[in-house]
Amino acid sequence: MKHKEIERLIQKKLDREIGLDEKRKLDKHLAQCPECVLYYQEMMQASKSLRELTEFYPQTDFNARVLAKLGLRRRFAWTKAAYVFAGSWLAAILFFVYSPLPAQFLSRVATSVPALMRLYDKVELVIASLTQVLSPVIKSSFSTLNPFIGLAFSIMFVYFLGKALQKEVKCKA
């Protein structure tokens, strides 16, 4: 039997992963080979010393202190996602505001159904209000607050649109 295989078996025994047949092979070899017995004892002592080591954990502000010393600031991963969301939200709003497609589609549908025409007027009023509010923001440089403002406006838009739709449904009933 090769000594490399015995070293592997010794390591498996230290890791408590050794099988019954492998343990028998190891014990048989250790009974005959003083070199491997010495290696086994050294490994047992090293394993015992490692288990007795004291564990140290850094303080909670360790990362912040290291980043400050390096001159870096911590950026959250969701910040990039917020910029992407804000940009796509803004692009979608600008598309719907300045594109003739939604107006053409809504005008065709709205002429056939008077209730949709009233809804279209309400939506148009909300979009016009949003463009008046958002135009200074668009002209200014982006800050980290702008995506949240956009999110708040879109939530309000969906809320008021839902309220308007509920009123139309109640009126029809």
Q: pLDDT tens for residues 120-157? A: 777 787 777 777 776 666 665 556 666 777 778 888 88
Please state the φ and ψ torsions of residue 7, each to the nearest 5 degrees. Answer: -60, -40
Distance (Å, rounded) from C-alpha 132 to C-alpha 29? 86
In a domain, 63, yes or no: no
Distance (Å, rounded) from C-alpha 37 to C-alpha 43? 10
Task: Say whether both 86 and 17 belong to one domain.
Answer: no
68 pLDDT above the threshold of 50: yes
Task: Say whether both 93 and 162 belong to one domain.
Answer: yes
- The model's confidence at residue 51, banded by pLDDT at 50, 70 and 90, is confident
b/e map of 100-129 (b: 16 or more CB within 10 Å)?
Answer: eebeeebeeebeeeeebeebbebbeebeee
Q: Please tell me which residue, 34 or 113, carries the higher pLDDT value.
A: 34
Task: Answer whether 36's CB lies under 8 Å from 10's CB.
Answer: yes
Task: Say whether both 90 and 144 belong to one domain.
Answer: yes
Instruction: Give 3-state DSSP helix, strand, coil % of the chain, rounded to 5.
Output: 80, 0, 20
In a domain, 89, yes or no: yes
Tokens coding 69: 């010393």
Strands (E), the chain: none
Mean pLDDT of 27-40: 90
- Alpha-helix runs per DSSP H in the chain: 3-14, 20-32, 34-51, 62-70, 77-98, 100-112, 114-139, 146-172
Model pTM score? 0.34
Task: Say whether both 81 and 163 belong to one domain.
Answer: yes
User: What's residue 95's pLDDT?
Assistant: 74
Structural domain including 106 reads 77-172
H or E stretch including 81? Answer: helix 77-98
Residues 6 or more apart whose CB falls under 8 angstroms from that of 65 comprise none
Distance (Å, rounded) from C-alpha 33 to C-alpha 140? 80
Task: Answer whether 3's CB lies under 8 Å from 35's CB.
Answer: yes
In a domain, 70, yes or no: no
Domain count of the chain? 2
Tokens coding 18: 């050794």
